[in-house]
Structure 1
Amino acid sequence: MHCLILYYSMTGQAEKAAGLAADAARAAGWDVTCCRMAMSDPADVLARPMNVAASKKWTQGAQKGMTVPLTYDPPDAINGRYDAVLLFSNTWGDHPSVPMRSFLESPAAKAVLSGTPFGAYIVCRRLWQKNLDIVRQLGEAAGGCFLGGEPFMHPGGQIGSLIQTITYLYRTDGGRRRFAGFPLPRYGLSDEAVARVAPFTRNLLARVSQA
C-alpha cells in the first residue's frame, strides 16, 4: 500500500506533523512518499520575519480563494498513483493556506485524488472548522473519497496563542515568553496535538486497508 503525504510548511509545524504521520504509516507497513509544496514564484516565498503587508496579503488572499503556481519536492511525487493521500493544511485566517487551495483546485489534485481515499490534518492555532470543510469539499470535487479530518492545534488560549503567533512570525527568534507581564504559550504544536498524529494516522490508514 502506497501513501502520499502532502504539505506546505513555513514555520515547520506542518512539516513536523507530516513527519510524525510518515513514521506512523511506515510502522503500519505502508510505503510512504512525502511531498513538500512551495510557491513557485520566488517573490511569493514566505519567511520570517514577516511584515504587516505580507501578512495581510496572504491572509486576505486565503479568505478570497487566491491560488498561485506551485512546485513540488520531489517533483514526480504528484505523478504517482496512491492508495491513500494525507493532506496537511495550515489555517490562514480561517481558510486553508493559499498553497493547499492552489493544489486542490489544480489538475494535479484531480490526477492524484481521483478515486483515492484522503484524510485532512488541520495544523492551526485555533480556527480550523472552515479549513477542514473547504479541504473536504475541494478534495471531493477533485474526485477523492474523504476518510476524515482533525485539528492539530497550538497550546494556550485564544488570546495568548494569537499574541505568540503574531510576535513569532514578526521575529526571528523562538518567540516571546511574556507579554505585558503575562506568560505566553510556546509557539508550535501542543504536546497533545503531537501525541495524536500517530494514532489518527493509523486509524485513517486502517480504514483503507480494511476496505
Structure 2
Amino acid sequence: PYRIFTSRAEARLTLRHDNSDERLSPHGHRIGLLGDSDWERFNSRRDRLANLRNILDATRYKRSDVEYRTASEILGCDLGDSFTLSNLAQRQNVNADLIKQLLPNDLSVNSKNVEIESALADSLYRGYIDNQRNAAERVNHHDGLKVPDNFSFQIVNGLSHEMVERLERARPQNFGQVRKIAGLTPSALSTLLVHLTSTAKAA
C-alpha cells in the first residue's frame, strides 16, 4: 500500500497525472487491455508530444523578434539576449496560452493546451529527472557490494527508524538484496550505498 503515495515511490518525479497514459498504455497494449484504435490514438498523442518537446527546445527568439517582446510584456520581465520556449518553462506564470502565442502558426492552431502543458512540465523537470535517473543507475550497478557480517544499520546517519527496522529484519548480505527489500525508499538506498562504499574503501 505504501506505493500509492508518490513520496514513497521510486522516480516519483515521473509520476504525473498528465503522463499516466505514456507510462501505462504500452503495458496495457502488451497484455491485451488496450485495443488497436486506442493504441493508435495513444501513439498519435505520443508523437505530437515528442514533436512539441523538440519545438520547445529548438524555437529561440532574440530581442529583435516580435515574439520576444510579446513574452517579455506578458511576463513583465527582461528575458535576456534570447530564450528558447523550453527556457520559459522555468519561469513562473508560463502556461499553454502564452506558449501558443509563441509557437509557429500551424502548431499553435493544432496543439491542444493539455499537451502543451505536459510538454512544459517535461521541460521544467527534465534536469531533476535526469539526475534521478542517473542516481538510480548508480544504485543499480552496486548489487555485488557486500554488507559486512553483523553490520548494524543503526550507525548509518540519515536512515529513519522505520528503514533501520526493515534492514535489521531482512539482514541482507549484499546491496542487491537490499534493493529487493519492500518499503525501502530511494533516499534510504542512496544513503546506505554511500555508507557501504565509503566503508569498503576504508577497509
Query: TM-score, normalization: structure 1?
Result: 0.22
From the CA coordinates, give the structure whose radius of gyration is larger: 2
**Higher share in helix:** 2
**Higher share in strand:** 1
Query: TM-score, normalization: structure 2?
Result: 0.23
